[in-house]
């Protein structure tokens, strides 16, 4: 009986080595998988933001060109805000491309 108990306790003690790839840290593996998933999700979101910003930027340019063609005086009156909006679109696009 003692021999069987000794064998069972030895198997019980060494079971984690067989279950978790010979002593590999399970938490480390989970952490790596979690970090990979978060990185992929963040990259996808940044790519979506970058695409959206590009579309808004192109539409902004088209609207400004049409406005300049039809009413140049309005463009002259609001030049600072129009330039600022263009710079803001560029900054958002640049930040999104850094993370994409």
Tokens found for residue 2 = 């003692």
Whether residue 17 has pLDDT greater than 70: no
Q: What is the DSSP letter of 21?
A: T
pLDDT value, residue 40: 93
In terms of pTM, does the model score above 0.95?
no
Tokens found for residue 21 = 């790839």
Quick one: which of 44, 46, 48, 59 has its CA closest to 89?
A: 59
Average pLDDT of span 70-86: 85
Q: Give the residue extent of every domain in the chain.
A: 2-99
Tokens found for residue 80 = 């600072």
């Amino acid at each position: 009986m003692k021999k069987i108990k000794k064998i069972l306790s030895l198997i019980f003690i060494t079971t984690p080595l067989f279950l978790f790839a010979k002593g590999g840290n399970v938490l480390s593996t989970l952490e790596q998988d979690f970090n990979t998933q978060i990185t992929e999700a963040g990259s996808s979101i940044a790519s979506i933001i970058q695409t959206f910003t590009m579309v808004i930027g192109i539409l902004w340019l088209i609207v400004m060109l049409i406005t300049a063609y039809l009413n140049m005086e309005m463009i002259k009156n609001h030049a600072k805000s129009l330039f600022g909006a263009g710079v803001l679109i560029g900054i958002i696009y640049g930040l999104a491309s850094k993370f994409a």
